[in-house]
Amino acid sequence: MSRKSGILLHISSLPGPDGIGSMGKEAYAFADFLAEAGMHIWQVLPLGPTGYGESPYQSASVFAGNPMLISLEKLKEDGLLRPVPREEEWVEPSNAAQVDFEAMKAHKLAMLRDSFFQSEDRLQREISAFRREQPWVNDFALFQALKKRFGNMMWTQWPDRAIRRRDPSAIARCKTELSDEVHFQIYCQYLFQRQWMELKKYCNSKGIEIFGDMPIYVAEDSADTWTHPEVFQLDRDGVPRRVAGVPPDLFSATGQLWGNPLYRWHRLRWRGYGWWVERMRRMKEMYDIIRIDHFIGFANYYSIPHGAATAQTGKWVVGPGRHLFDTFKKKLPDLNIVAEDLGVVNDRVRALLNYVGYPGMKVLTFGFGGGEDNPHRLTNFTQNSVAYTGTHDNDTVLGFLSAADAATVEDARRLLGFKALSEAPEAFCRAVMNSKSDTAVLSMQDVLGLDGTARMNFPSTIGGNNWKWRMLPGAADAALAHRLRQWNQEAER
């Protein structure tokens, strides 16, 4: 990898008129901003439909897109949405720096249904081609339609056991009964695909690669577990036997209980990892670079009994290791992968990382404390890595230092050379840019020098301000692009 740089900013965090960032003109403007700034990477969070608590890491599908990111303005420009009376227009909430998920979703869903009723018939040829190219969409659309019928109830609790178990006659009946809703869900996925691929093509034409994030696990309540129960450690009723998490550590005395179903890796290997190959094929289509979240789970994963109150009763189990990545190399030889290697990195994990050769991650805000051998200390950054000021799960630089003890702040000052806390975000950004790492990715919040109120997510929490942050209109201006271009030139990126 040549030395290059980019910015981490999820689509939902863009400004714009839909109450949430979308794939409209603001996204294209941000691509122009990146090009002006000399950046060559735009990193985004998972693009799937958000689940409980609006987390993009708990999605109803690993293949689908989030319809809430569709641009209504672009639909109007394309003649797929009629003009509506002024009183029906979306009014930007009073706090433009946050997404109002409840109000936004109600409005956007109504507008998408309006578009569907107007435009489905004249798009039949394109939609039919989309269904052939993306066969997962048919099962996903039926899953969403059934969720709506059963009041958004988790699929393992649907009252009809035949539907839960996908009895062919029951599925055929549901497809007929729910035909309109199924076609609407397919229509939304078609629109997402259309807008996303247009945006990606534009970014690529500007020399910008899309760097996407892929969670290792799927949500328990997802089309994936319903349609492919054989892939996961589930009982006959679809309930997980064991679930994912991480053990107790310095940050949590009881560990983290994520609750995602684990994979049946032996069965997957016997079947040539077919489901995983198709998943990676879809990721390759969506992104130029794929960050695999929780990469350590391929070397060894933490397995917790379903129903456990905490993660303390879990155990480590050997993962698929090299064989899975040999399969990827054979069937998808040009995958461009980055390994999220944060967490418990033991010898097995290190051996797998050395074998596959993927770049790992270095996070500068993790680099204070833990002694001189801390792998995230700036002096220990390696060339084959992607360097960050922080990730979506971390506080901003200002938030981090405001909450840190005096020794940590002094260590950061001594290493990075800033005096006032207000100077710290730039110091952290420039340190990452000038590091040994081949790739440097800056959080947009740190580029803008924002405090902890702009944090994207608090891990192991639901609700609050998680996933709500939005960049204010005009923040990514020409002056900021000029400053970033200077940083790139200084760092020879």
The Cβ of residue 346 has, within 10 Å, a number of other Cβ atoms equal to 12
Question: Cβ contacts of residue 108 below 8 Å, gap of 6+?
Answer: 18, 19, 20, 67, 68, 70, 72, 90
Strand order in the sheet with 439-443: 337-339, 289-292, 209-214, 41-43, 4-8, 439-443, 385-388, 360-363
Q: Which listed residue (120, 393, 423, 426) is catalytic?
A: 393
Q: Which listed residue (220, 224, 340, 341) is catalytic?
A: 340
Task: Report d(CA 171, CA 182) in Å as an integer.
Answer: 12
Buried b (16+ CB within 10 A) or exposed e, 54-82: bbbbbbbbbbbbbbbbbbbbbbbeeebbe
Q: What are the helix and strand counts (H, E) for the chain?
A: 18, 12
Active site residue 285: no
Active site residue 341: no
Question: Cβ contacts of residue 77 below 8 Å, gap of 6+?
Answer: none
Tokens 């999220």 sit on residue: 340
The Cβ of residue 133 has, within 10 Å, a number of other Cβ atoms equal to 10
Q: Which listed residue (293, 341, 395, 446) is catalytic?
A: 293
What value, to the nearest 5°, has the Cα angle with vertex 266 and ends 265 and 270? 115
Task: Report d(CA 285, CA 308) in Å as an integer.
Answer: 38
302: closest CA among 317, 287, 290, 313?
A: 317
Active site residue 235: no
Task: Count CA within 13 A, CB hemisphere, residue 10.
Answer: 29
Three-state DSSP at 138 gives helix
Three-state DSSP at 222 gives coil
Q: Which two tokens stand for residue 285?
A: 């289509």
Per-residue HEC secondary structure of 418-470 comes to CCCHHHHHHHHHHHHHCCCCCEEEEEHHHHCCCCHHHCCCCCCCCCCCCCCEC
231: closest CA among 294, 275, 293, 270?
A: 275
Contact criterion met (CB below 8 Å) for 299 and 351: yes
Q: 48, exposed or middle or buried, with CB in 10 Å at 0-12, 13-18, 19+? A: buried
Task: Report d(CA 41, CA 46) in Å as an integer.
Answer: 16
Strands (E), 180-250: 209-214, 242-246
Q: Which two tokens stand for residue 203?
A: 């970014």
Q: Which two tokens stand for residue 198?
A: 């247009």
Catalytic residue set: 293, 340, 393
